[in-house]
Amino acid sequence: MLWLAPLTAAASVVGVLAVREVAIRVVHPSPRSLPLTPVPAILDTILGCAGAVLVFATSVFYPESARTYRRGAAGVLFLSFIPDVLLATSHDMGGGRHEVSFLRIMHVAVWAICMTLLPGLSMTSHSETAAKPDDRLSIL
């Protein structure tokens, strides 16, 4: 987990900044559109990834931890859309329907990266027929 947490956060920040770049070129948000400025996007991404890593690190001790983690993360992704919807309806911070659509894409990008990297790179499967390190090899 020492190398996986920074890798996940870095990959997520790269993904969010790529989506942000597309959003700026497509939507041309107003300068007062705070959620699409770099600092809040990067900070929110790092905080979200830290939360995902902490939840994943605590869930690995349970049976079927990857499945449980993915189900929980899908619920958190759904909940993360609520502030976006409120931002689109209230038009606070310069956020309109188009800007919020890109915020949702950012959320999905971070979710996909966390769902791929954390379980995929941290868990290994061992074959039941593979020799265990303590097992003595015998020709009999």
The string of pLDDT tens digits covering residues 9-43 is 999 999 999 999 999 999 888 777 778 889 989 99
Three-class secondary structure of residue 55 per DSSP: helix
Domain spans in the chain, listed from the N-terminal domain onward: 32-121
Q: What is the pLDDT of residues 78-91, one digit of tens each?
A: 999 998 888 878 76
The span from the CA of 105 to the CA of 16, in Å, is 9
- Sequence-distant (≥ 6) Cβ neighbours of residue 16 within 8 angstroms: 41, 42, 45, 106, 109, 110
> Which pLDDT does position 93 carry in this prediction?
66
- In angstroms, how far apart are the furthest CA atoms of the chain? 77
The arithmetic mean of pLDDT across residues 89-112, rounded, is 84
The span from the CA of 140 to the CA of 6, in Å, is 48
Question: Does the pLDDT value for residue 8 go beyond 90?
Answer: yes
> Which pLDDT does position 125 carry in this prediction?
55
> What is the dihedral angle through the alpha carbons of 41, 44, 45, 49, rounded to the nearest 10 degrees?
180
The arithmetic mean of pLDDT across residues 104-122, rounded, is 90
pTM of the full predicted structure? Answer: 0.78
